[in-house]
């Protein structure tokens, strides 16, 4: 088997491990991967639950990458990985496609990887940039700066000053949605379209009238738990998969939306030092986010660009809540609910989402 530098650079693995001679255990893993009927759908992350030697993990990653070359359309070689060294943070981002620029902002507990099914469906018409937000994925983990205005500024620096896009559309899911709102509010002349998925605008109503993430009801339990200093980190260290899998399994209305390999990729990044703390810090900054948004809206400001708000229409989604929020903060708001879909819209209904984005963006 030829081991080209392209494989090593693409996978971003530890290059100081030379490709090992396969051991019986790794040969079994490779045979299992190659024979799996779902290999072509899950080539992006290996199932390494039974692989313990780091050299074998590298080998399994490489085999999955080679299988993507065999799989055809939508394979990993179409995703290009990059780093951008910005002020105080190093951002990892993935690009695909050609055409009008579009930035895709992930939520918690996810990374750029949540867009893997949507990006190939839009690659013929859009240049898509999917960053790992500060502290998450394969980006660096600053100790501060998790208010959404600061995170949005990272995206602005990447899109405008590093990549040179004068105007672009922005799509955000979960925490990516409030970040997308902040980016559009701070740069209304450069953001051409705003799409928010299954999370409304925090602070979209005056104090005393609700306006958090779930203004019409009590906050979800983890929104409060994640804001407690230090305790969430202490209780989840070494148990990242148990904790994160709870959200994946209980946030969907489409059974089978997440494979073991998908979850393993998210756990890979959130198991790294500082990653869980960075994710919890997004919640700890919620009070600041609400204050920032209310201060902006109190001036009478409304978003001038077309906006689209979509929620999951199933029991685990927020339904019409997102578009209702946008109607309060934007001059032009459209949207609704995606039927039979929970919270994780890009992975539960990627084709329907891609079709809605094409229609909205024109």
In the chain, the N- to C-terminal Cα span, in Å, equals 45
Q: Check pLDDT > 50 for residue 302.
A: yes
Higher pLDDT, 75 or 185: 185
Mean pLDDT of the chain: 83
pLDDT tens by residue, 248-298:
999 999 999 999 999 999 999 999 999 999 999 999 999 999 999 999 999
Dig out the tokens for 200 from the structure: 């409304």
Residues 90 and 16 in one domain: no
102: enclosing H helix or E strand? strand 100-105
Q: 3-class SS at 341? A: coil
- Asked if 152 and 293 count as a contact pair (C-beta separation under 8 A), the reply is no
pLDDT tens-digit readout, 321-347: 999 999 999 999 999 999 999 999 999
Q: Are residues 230 and 301 in the same domain?
A: yes
pLDDT at position 63 is: 42
The answer to whether residues 102 and 32 belong to one domain is no
- The answer to whether the CB of 45 falls within 8 A of the CB of 114 is no
Q: Domain boundary at 49, 76, 103, which? A: 76
Closest CA to 307 of 133, 136, 191, 190: 191
Based on the domain organization, do 46 and 87 belong to the same domain? no
Q: Are 116 and 354 in contact (CB under 8 A)?
A: no
> Over 146-157, what HEC string results?
CCHHHHHHHHHH
pLDDT exceeds cutoff 90 at 185: yes
User: Is there a catalytic annotation at residue 223?
Assistant: no
CA 89 to chain centre: 18
Q: Which helix (H) or strand (E) holds 67?
A: helix 54-71
Instruction: Specify the number of domains making up the chain.
Output: 2
234 and 191 in a common domain: yes
Question: How far is the C-alpha of 201 from the C-alpha of 70, rounded, in Å?
Answer: 43
Pick from 295, 319, 324: which is nearest to 307 by CA? 324
Told to judge if 138 belongs to the known catalytic residues of this protein, a careful annotator would answer no
Q: Beta strand pairing status for 89-96 and 80-86?
A: antiparallel
Q: Which two tokens stand for residue 255?
A: 């059974």
- The verdict on 322 and 248 lying in the same domain is yes
Tell me if residue 83 falls in helix, strand or coil: strand
Of 76, 100, 120, the one marking the end of a domain is 76
Alpha carbon distance 323, 199 (integer Å): 9
Confidence of residue 205 (pLDDT cuts 50, 70, 90): confident
Question: How is 105-142 classified by DSSP, letter by letter?
Answer: E--TT--GGGGTTTHHHHTTTEEEEEEPPTTSTTS---
Instruction: Kindly name the residue from 174, 198, 204, 289 that is annotated as catalytic.
Output: 174
Q: Residue 22 has which token pair?
A: 């396969």
| pLDDT for 218 | 59
Q: Are 251 and 343 in contact (CB under 8 A)?
A: yes
Does 67 lie in the same domain as 174? Answer: no
Judge if 172 and 295 occupy the same domain. Answer: yes
Q: Which of 44, 126, 266, 283 is catalytic?
A: 283
CATH number of the domain residue 123 falls in: 3.40.50.1820
Backbone φ/ψ region at 237: left (φ over 0), alpha (ψ -120 to 50), beta: beta
> Same domain, yes or no, for 33 and 143?
no
Same domain, 318 and 255: yes
Could you tell me if 149 and 292 are in contact, meaning their C-beta atoms sit under 8 angstroms apart? Answer: yes
Of 242, 227, 238, which Cα lies nearest the Cα of 280? 227
Identify whether residues 149 and 66 lie together within a single domain.
Answer: no
Closest CA to 198 of 340, 361, 334, 341: 341
Inter-CA distances, 305 with 195, 286, 326, 329, Å: 10, 25, 11, 11
C-alpha–C-alpha distance, residues 169 and 90, integer Å: 22
- The C-alpha angle with vertex 205 and arms to 278 and 323, in degrees rounded to 5, equals 80
Residue 209 binned pLDDT confidence (cut-offs 50, 70, 90): low
**Contacts (Cβ under 8 Å, ≥6 apart) of 157:** 84, 86, 87
Selected catalytic residue, list 10, 61, 92, 343: 343
Owning domain of residue 51: 5-76
Q: Do 257 and 226 fall into the same domain?
A: yes
Assess contact for 102 and 127: CB atoms under 8 A. yes
Q: Please check the confidence at residue 354 and state whether its pLDDT lies above 60.
A: yes
Q: Which one of 76, 105, 129 terminates a domain? A: 76
Coil, helix or strand at residue 101? strand
Residue 127 has pLDDT above 60, yes or no: yes
Distance CA 293, CA 298 (A): 8
Determine whether 174 is an active site residue. yes
């Amino acid at each position: 088997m030829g081991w080209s530098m392209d494989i090593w650079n693409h996978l971003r693995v530890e290059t100081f491990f030379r490709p090992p001679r396969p051991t019986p255990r790794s040969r079994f893993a490779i045979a299992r991967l190659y024979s799996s009927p779902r290999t072509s759908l899950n080539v992006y992350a290996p199932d390494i639950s039974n692989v313990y030697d780091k050299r074998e993990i590298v080998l399994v990653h490489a085999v999955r990458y080679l299988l993507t070359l065999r799989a055809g359309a939508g394979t990993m070689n179409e995703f290009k990985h990059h780093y951008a060294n910005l002020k105080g943070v190093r951002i990892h981002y993935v690009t695909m496609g050609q055409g009008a620029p579009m930035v895709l902002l992930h939520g918690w507990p996810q990374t750029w990887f949540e867009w893997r099914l949507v990006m190939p469906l839009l690659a013929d018409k859009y240049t898509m940039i999917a960053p790992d937000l500060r502290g998450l994925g394969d980006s660096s983990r600053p100790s501060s700066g998790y208010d959404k205005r600061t995170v949005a500024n990272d995206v602005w620096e990447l899109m405008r000053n590093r990549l040179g896009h004068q105007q672009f559309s922005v799509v955000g899911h979960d925490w990516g949605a409030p970040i997308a709102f902040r980016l559009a509010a701070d740069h209304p002349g450069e953001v051409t379209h705003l799409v928010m998925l299954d999370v409304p605008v925090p602070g979209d109503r005056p104090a005393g009238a609700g306006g958090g993430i779930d203004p019409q009801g009590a906050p979800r339990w983890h929104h409060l738990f994640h804001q407690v200093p230090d305790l969430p980190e202490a209780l989840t260290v070494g148990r990242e998969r148990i904790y994160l899998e709870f959200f994946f399994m209980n946030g969907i209305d489409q059974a089978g939306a997440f494979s073991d390999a998908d979850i393993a990729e998210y756990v890979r990044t959130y198991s790294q030092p500082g990653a869980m703390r960075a994710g919890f810090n997004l919640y700890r900054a919620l009070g600041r986010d609400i204050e920032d948004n209310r201060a902006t809206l109190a001036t009478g400001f409304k978003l001038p660009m077309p906006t689209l708000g979509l929620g999951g229409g199933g029991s685990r989604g927020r339904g019409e809540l997102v578009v209702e929020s946008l109607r309060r903060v934007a001059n032009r708001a459209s949207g609704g609910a995606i039927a039979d879909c929970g919270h994780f819209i890009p992975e539960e209904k990627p084709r329907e989402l891609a079709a809605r984005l094409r229609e909205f963006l024109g």
